[in-house]
Amino acid sequence: MNISWSITRKHHQWLVRDYLLHVRAFSNRLLKEVKKEGAILINGESVTVRKEIVTGDVLTVQFPAEKRSDAVEPKYMPLQIVYEDDYLLIINKRRGLAVSPNMNDLKESTLANGVLHYFDTQSINATYHVVTRLDRFTSGLVIIAKNRYIHHLLQQSEIKRLYEAFVTGHLEQSCGTIDLPIARNLPSIIERKVSDKGKRAVTHYRVKRENAQGSQVEVELETGRTHQIRVHFAHIGHPLIGDDLYGGDHHQLTGQALHCEWVTFQHPIHKQTVHAYANKPNELKRLT
């Protein structure tokens, strides 16, 4: 992967090294790898990191080839690609599919296996860097970076995500905010709970409709703690339908009724706003 930047007057006579570290958020480790296995060019000519850049230069970085883990085998699976460019991929993940493999069970097919197979069939020199994770039974949008530099930039950026959740019962308020810290529910390594010893977690919600089965709620996360939506709604007495881990009724549905419907963020390279949308699966539409 190559990325180029046009140098403006603001960075006239900066060293390449300083520009990449302080303007383009390179880590020292990444810069060393680019020097060793990639290339740095100014106006098409190879240079060192000690070279000065001047206004009007085009600085290009050729990143080293991505290195994959042999443990994750590419496997075909149908993928619903919502957005793709040279730098990233957004997929509408189906319910029941894990985002990444469990190192104790590498035979299970996960989204990682499917994306690697897709990269191979499209001759894309990339590996799997998941930016936004979803639980196995949470459907919806997953952002995947094709390069770990892009992954780093996206992790530092603000990504707005809107979810639809189907919760048991009817909430007292049609909209509100749940601001309660979340921690691990020891000795479990999976389950979480509201705890004063936890990290701050903020969930905003708005009730869209109600029926005999429960409430359809639009949810926006201000923070991104593990199981945040599931834990917060369970704590206030309205666990997600199907979420047997946190007390939800699983007779209507297997796994939590939760879908990541929208993502919005500034693209890490061209800086334009990216909007992506994913329809709910039929299992959740039946709850409306």
Token pair belonging to 108: 């299970």
Question: Which residue stretches of the chain are H helix?
Answer: 16-22, 28-37, 111-121, 148-156, 228-235, 282-285
**Of 157, 264, 144, 162, nearest to 221 (Cα)?**
162
Q: Is 18 known to be catalytic? A: no
Of these residues, 70, 85, 86, 135, which one is catalytic?
A: 135
Q: Beta-carbon neighbour count of residue 251 at 10 Å?
A: 9
**Of 263, 60, 68, nearest to 147 (Cα)?**
68
Token pair belonging to 245: 């881990």
247 contacts 233 by C-beta, under 8 angstroms: no
Token pair belonging to 178: 């749940």
Q: Which residues are catalytic?
A: 135
